[in-house]
């Protein structure tokens, strides 16, 4: 049996099999690379496929996953809002559409409210809370099931639902976010919405303290 020293002495770079790496660039060009003289060399270039200039596989499947926040409060994308079977499966009666440029599909089957909101950090999402919350509460009072959706069901609709939970259940942003995230893992409100939701929490905590102070003063 050869010793380790013998194996090291017998080692030769010339005996190593040349390795090649297939690479697809962001423009869609396919190349084959290999190492030579401690440098990378392109040994072959292939023309991009006719599928287009994407270095990744586009996911064109429908997003019909619906997050069940409460038995009567759902969160999803425009795909779910436009799929009648999905809506019937979840027994939806009301639909809150906070997308921009997305039409309501089944006007004779559901009660709709549409509010066009831009998914931008500078959008004042808090200004839309009162009318959104009122619509959700009305659906709940009528023993309905409301679906809140935007385009992707990730930022705007998620921010509305998180804000609603913070308001109706007097919970923190972190707790509300976790609840919604568990129900629909893909949510990701933009940075501006997150900052506004944290500010919303601070405002509610301040109002609560003021109310407690007032009640304490009145009891004296």
**Catalytically annotated residues:** 150
Q: Quote the distance between the C-alpha of residue 89 and its chain's center.
A: 22
Please state, in angstroms and rounded to a whole number, the distance separating the CA atoms of residues 99 and 157.
8
Please state, in angstroms and rounded to a whole number, the distance separating the CA atoms of residues 155 and 151.
9
Please state, in angstroms and rounded to a whole number, the distance separating the CA atoms of residues 60 and 155.
20
Count other Cβ atoms within 10 Å, centred on residue 88.
10
Cβ distance 153 to 63 under 8 Å?
A: yes
Please state, in angstroms and rounded to a whole number, the distance separating the CA atoms of residues 153 and 15.
56
DSSP state of 143: T
């Amino acid at each position: 049996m050869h010793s380790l020293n013998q194996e090291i002495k017998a080692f030769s770079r010339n005996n190593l099999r040349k390795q090649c790496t297939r690479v697809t660039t962001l423009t869609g060009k396919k190349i084959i690379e290999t190492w030579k003289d401690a440098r990378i060399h392109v040994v072959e270039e292939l023309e991009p496929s006719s599928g287009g200039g994407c270095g990744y596989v586009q996911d064109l499947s429908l997003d019909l996953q619906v997050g069940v926040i409460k038995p009567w409060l759902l969160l999803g994308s425009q795909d779910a809002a436009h799929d009648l079977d999905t809506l019937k499966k979840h027994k939806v009666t009301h639909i809150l559409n906070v997308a921009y440029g997305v039409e309501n599909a089944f006007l004779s089957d559901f009660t709709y409210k549409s509010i066009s909101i831009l998914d931008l950090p500078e959008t004042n999402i808090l200004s839309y809370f009162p009318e959104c919350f009122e619509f959700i509460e009305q659906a709940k009072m009528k023993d309905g099931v409301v679906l809140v959706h935007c385009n992707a069901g990730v930022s705007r609709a998620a921010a509305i639902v998180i804000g609603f939970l913070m308001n109706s259940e007097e919970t923190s942003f972190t707790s509300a976010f976790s609840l919604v995230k568990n129900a629909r893992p893909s949510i990701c409100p933009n940075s501006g919405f997150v900052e506004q939701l944290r500010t919303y929490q601070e405002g509610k905590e301040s109002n609560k303290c003021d109310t407690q102070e007032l009640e304490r003063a009145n009891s004296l």
